[in-house]
Chains A and B, each alone.
Chain A
Amino acid sequence: MTHDLAQLVRDAAAGTGARQVRAAGRLMSMIEDDPTRLPALVVAARPYLASSPLPLGEGREGGCKEPPRLPRIVLGITGAPGSGKSTLTDALLGEYRRRFPQRKIGVVAVDPSSPFTGGAVLGDRVRMMRHTTDPMIFVRSMASRGHLGGLALGVRGVIQILALIGCDLVILETVGVGQSEVEVAGIADLTAIIFAPGQGDSIQLLKAGLMEIGDLFVINKADRPGAAELHRQLLSVLKLGVIEEHCGAHHGIGLPQAASRGLPDSVGETAASPELGLMRSRPMPDVQLVSAAEHTGIASLLDLLEKKTDDHHEDWAQRRDESMFRDIRDSILEAARQRLERTLGRNGTAHGQVARVLAGDLSIEELADDLLRRTAGAPHANAGLAPGRTSNSSSKTEVM
């Protein structure tokens, strides 16, 4: 199997059968192992995405004239361990395939790495194995690994590769707790937060983090006791948020019934404003009650997702460009930080300077200036950073 990025991109885009799947899998490993190659991947993939015919015989009726650069929707599915994310993903896969037999679906399932050993057990696939031999479904498991910003770039790369093989829908499944997880949730066009009854009281709903990244809330395991109670609590917490942030002015307030039925009405319509990153710009999110295991509520959840996709996919495309830009910028800053850090490390040229700062001989600002000067002319270790310079520039970590 080749390790040439351009060749693999060609095989993933134009190859068929096992050759295409292998190329896609291998490309994903390359990006996962060295996320700084994302720009090279994007550049190599561009001609195929721009010129390839629409992968759909049906669906996508009359809608878009331009071939999409990425899937129509990247759906984030996030929630605590055990809330049923993978089972819900499995149910959505089944429903989507039944409804749109011509459309390809990609799944990216992120599970945490051990901060102690770096190891991971990635178990999301277990729930989706019945789809494994379906050529229209590609599932990739990813460990969160430890690197700051690296996961976000890696996930973007994997989504780009899923686009190359023609995926129309991508489901991005994450635990959604912790900084890198929240970063990853930012990649999705729409993030669904999954809850299940019996996982803590309403205080959990007030905690920071999870609730703030949701565009859509799904209560899973509706067949279990406590689901109705959780539904009520969730609605009241969400309404509180809306009241605070809109000072009661938003027309969605006072319409909890509409929201509780998950109607794709005007209440949720502005959910894809470009400032979606900010909680305060949000209207009342939709809340759906489902049972993935018993397959109830799945069809109406998909109806809602389709409606939102039809309404917003053009805004999303633009927002993806902006957030990609942000992630690239963050990784440039991270690369710069690592270089600076090396000069302060045990073998670094400025290692001794920290003691001088402590002794009062040098200010923090002066040392920072000094570090920037020291690193300015130094050749960098990781040449893979240079966009457009592909295969041979980053020779590391291609051991497989």
Chain B
Amino acid sequence: MDTHPRRPRILIAKPGLDGHDRGAKYVAHILRDAGFEVIYTGIRRSPEQIVEAAIQEDVAAIGLSLLSGAHNVLFKKVIDLLKSKDAADILVFGGGTIPPDDVPFLKSIGVAAVFTPGTPAKTIVSTLDSLFAQPA
């Protein structure tokens, strides 16, 4: 019998060209241990692939990991695509080597949270929990 409270499904993706997936895999791991179902999609994915996969999987959130510096462009592309497919209710959060100066811009385009290197696992889980607790 299922004794665990169901937690939302989350898609973890790496848009763009950098192949450093350690951070993305680490986040997938801690989210799994926190009881989330994580759909891991691998490296070097296009925003189109990420959004299409997220819709087929009907996830509650997409976590984007990026270390190439192209976050301002690629995160925005993902959010725009979600809007164009009537899927703006899917949360987008991100992580990676993102300069603090870029965080306000990312938040302004609709990125719900940004987790930079060194963010404790607990913070990630509790932030996501509180995001999911809010009505969409």
**Nearest A residue (CB) for B45:** A129
B41: min CB distance to chain A, Å:
6
Q: How far is the CA of A22 from the CA of B86 in the complex (A)?
A: 9
Is the beta-carbon distance between B41 and A22 smaller than 8 angstroms?
no
Is the beta-carbon distance between A138 and B56 smaller than 8 angstroms?
yes
User: Nearest 4 A-B pairs (CB), nearest first?
Assistant: A118-B4, A25-B58, A119-B32, A126-B42
B78: min CB distance to chain A, Å:
14
B89, CB-defined interface residue at 8 Å = yes
CB under 8 Å from chain B, chain A span 113-129: 113-114, 117-123, 125-126, 129
Write the residues of chain B forming the contact surface with A, with a CB cutoff of 8 angstroms: 1-9, 28-29, 31-42, 45-46, 48-49, 52-53, 55-58, 60, 84-87, 89, 132
Chain A interface residue number, banded: 35 or more
Is the beta-carbon distance between B35 and A132 smaller than 8 angstroms?
no
Chain A residue contacts of B32, Cβ below 8 A: 114, 117, 119-121
Q: How far is the CA of A148 from the CA of B3 in the complex (A)?
A: 11
Chain B residue contacts of A397, Cβ below 8 A: 6
Q: Provided the pairs A117-B32, A140-B57 are in contact, do residues A133 and B49 lie with their beta carbons within 8 angstroms?
A: yes
Q: Which of A26-34, A184-192, A209-217, A367-375 contacts the other chain?
A: A26-34
**Nearest A residue (CB) for B136:** A400
Q: How far is the CA of A369 from the CA of B85 in the complex (A)?
A: 56
Write the residues of chain A forming the contact surface with B, with a CB cutoff of 8 angstroms: 1, 18-19, 21-22, 24-26, 28-29, 33, 113-114, 117-123, 125-126, 129, 132-133, 138-141, 143, 145-148, 150, 338, 397, 399-400
Chain B residue contacts of A399, Cβ below 8 A: 6, 8, 132
Q: How far is the CA of A377 from the CA of B28 in the complex (A)?
A: 46
Which of B8, B53, B58 neighbours the largest number of chain A CB atoms within 10 Å of its CB?
Answer: B58
